[in-house]
Amino acid sequence: MISICIPVYNFNIASLINELSRQLNSLNIQCEIIVIDDCSQNLKTINKSSCEKHTYIELPENIGRAKIRNLFLQYAKYEYLLFLDCDALIKTSSFLPKYIEIIKDNPSVVCGGRVYDPRPPKREYRLKWKYGILRESQPYSVRRKFPNRSFMTNNFLIRKNILEKIKFDERIAQYGHEDTLFGYALKKSNITITHIDNPILNGDVELNSEYLNKTREGIINLIHILNFKEYDNDLINDIALLRFYQKIKILRGIIRLSFFAFKPLTILLLKKGYVNLYLFDYYKLGILIENIKTNLDNQNV
């Protein structure tokens, strides 16, 4: 029935595996857990030990977030694949039963969502937390209004034959937006994502400086995606940052100059944990304008 697929990189998955195993033991279903380690530098011994009763594969080199998800097709033997990020924490004992129940409706793709701990972390970890709380942790009633825009890879179920036809784009080797592009590909194939209220809890705390670097990497990656997608307007309309960029053509030059002047201060404030999401939006827009190729302007967006 379900192959649970967990790509892992430098993260301890013992608690996740234990909780999934506990829930599986109480269910009378066909299910397997597959873990693929993307050439981690640490924690491999602990993770391998946690997966003694499951399928555990270690890759000799890092292949990236898109390619590793496609790789699960070689190992999964059941009709549905449930993908979970390695930092996921299972909130309730009904997590797997909810997916079992929705499978009865024969869905194509199902997203369960993600939430964050409401307790604020230390200031140096607060950027990702606040962004997650206010922007990413959307209830399914909101997510289902624009189902394919709200796709995230951290907690989703997909029919195996669909992933075989619409794979993650392996040209995306770096961090960021492989989920955006996959959701877009599903939409172009007229496959609607079903959203349910079955979130995982984000279990990773990340330094503000690390999250800023990842955000920058993701925006650079987004620019690469735009290049090989030839600045598809439908794709642009699916991404909030690009939709906003599209609306402010007259102001881009002013923003470029202001970002050049205030970039060091902006980064300093965000790193220190003085987190205002409008300031973070300004940072992302500035990085986009700073790095985007002139041919995007030539596409009249």
Mean pLDDT by 10 residues, the chain (301 residues): 96 96 92 96 92 96 93 97 97 96 96 94 95 90 83 94 94 80 91 94 92 94 81 81 89 93 97 93 95 57 51
Q: Which amino acid, 277?
A: L
In 3D, which of 18, 16, 54 has the Cα closest to residue 36? 54
Give the distance, in angstroms, between the CA of residue 66 and the centroid of all CA atoms in the same chain: 11
The pLDDT assigned to 258 comes to 95
Query: Which domains, ranges and CATH numbers included, belong to the chain?
Result: 2-206 (3.90.550.10), 210-298 (no CATH)
Under DSSP, the state recorded for 141 is: H
The pLDDT assigned to 227 comes to 81
The pLDDT assigned to 163 comes to 97
CB contact at 8 A, 255 and 286: yes
Q: Considering the entire predicted model, what is its pTM?
A: 0.92
CA distance 24 to 30: 9
Straight-line distance from the first to the last Cα atom of the chain, in angstroms, rounded to the nearest whole number? 45
Phi/psi at 138 (5° precision): -95, 135
The pLDDT assigned to 99 comes to 97
Report the half-sphere exposure of 250 (CA within 13 A, side-chain side). Answer: 0
CA dihedral 240, 231, 150, 130 (to 10 degrees): -40
The crossing angle, in degrees rounded to 10, of helices 208-228 and 240-247 is 70
Helix (H) / strand (E) containing 68: helix 65-71
Residue 126's SS3 state is helix
The pLDDT assigned to 298 comes to 47
Q: Tokens for 244, please give them.
A: 């906003």
